Every structure is written in C-alpha cells, then in structure tokens.
Amino acid sequence: MWETCSVQLNVRLPREIAQQAEEVQESDPEFLSRIVLYGLTRRSVYRHLREQQETSSGGSDSPVALPL
C-alpha cells in the first residue's frame, strides 16, 4: 500500500497512559503504529480543510468550526 520507514518518537504522557502505551507496544506494536497513523492522518486532513476554508473565505481571521 505505502512505502514505510521506522521512526523513533519520544513523548511525554501522563504516567498511567504511558504505562498503557508501553504495554501495547510490547503486546501489539502494529496497533500502536496504527494509532499514531490515525492521529497524524486526522491532523493532516484538518489542516487541509482549514487551509481550504481560509482560501475560500479570503483568508479572514474568523474562527471556523470544522467537523471532527
């Protein structure tokens, strides 16, 4: 499907969530990869939609609510 490469991430998480992330990384690293991919894809789509909205509205500074 896509060409992939390995990425090393260091993040600061609340202790409880960090423990859960470590457990998932050990038990199902592919699932953790999909979670990160999902989050970054949503961010990319949001940015694209926001840029489209700014372009079509003439770059006004008024906030725009976009569906999540």
| Number of domain units in the chain | 1
pTM above 0.85, yes or no: no
The amino acid that residue 22 corresponds to is E
Q: Can you give the residue range of the structural domain that contains 33?
A: 23-48
**Contact 66/53 with Cβ under 8 angstroms?**
yes
User: Does 12 map to a domain?
Assistant: no
User: Does 13 map to a domain?
Assistant: no
pLDDT computed for residue 40 by the predictor = 93
- Give pLDDT tens digits for 6-61: 889 899 999 999 999 999 999 999 999 999 999 999 999 999 999 998 888 765 55
> Rg (Cα) of the chain, in Å, rounded?
17
User: Does 17 map to a domain?
Assistant: no
